[in-house]
Amino acid sequence: MVYVFFAEGFEEVEALTVVDVLRRAQIETLMVGLNKSSVTGSHDISVQMDLQLEEIENLDEVEMLVLPGGMPGAKHLAENDDLKKLLNDALGADLHLAAICAAPTVLSKHGLIKGRQFTCYPGFENQIEDGVHTDAMVVHDGKLITGKGVGAALQFALKLVEIIKGEDVSKALAKSMICL
């Protein structure tokens, strides 16, 4: 199972592309609102959540946590103490952590990028002092997956599929979506 976290001001393309692609790959994916059952993105698109952060009891069946970017969405993610605790629990449980655009700053703020390679939206790398920035569209370093931004959303989502279901499934899905 994958949890994708939504905060007010999230980047719609980054968040919804991930949810859509993972669900196409038949990966159980739940949209989690930080404190609302309906969350509005940075371009005024409201999305109904599957559950709220406070409803998560444990991470026993979870493989990955995903943080979409967007502003002020990423800022709201970084400020949420319950999410901080969950991210640290995920690290302790050796789960995959994925973040795109401005969201790698959330992971950095909580010490979860230390020494790893990452990418992010141009300009935000200056806020991440504990990692090794690359200019790639998508970076996979151990259990950390990062994406550069909106233009990388599909490639980022397909990388998440590859990690969970394998390269063959990801390539078949990309082909069916006319990405190859």
What is the bridge-based pairing of β-strands 46-48 and 38-40?
antiparallel
Determine which one of 31, 74, 99, 101 is catalytic.
101
| Rounded distance between C-alpha atoms, residue 111 and residue 92, angstroms | 13
List Cβ<8 Å contacts ≥24 apart for 50-59. Answer: 53/5, 53/80, 53/82, 53/83, 53/86, 54/82, 56/3, 56/32, 56/86, 59/86, 59/89, 59/90, 59/93, 59/95
* Cis preceding-peptide flag for 104 (omega within 30 of 0): no
| Rounded distance between C-alpha atoms, residue 97 and residue 100, angstroms | 10
What is the bridge-based pairing of β-strands 46-48 and 96-100?
unpaired
Known catalytic membership, residue 120: no
List the catalytic residues: 101
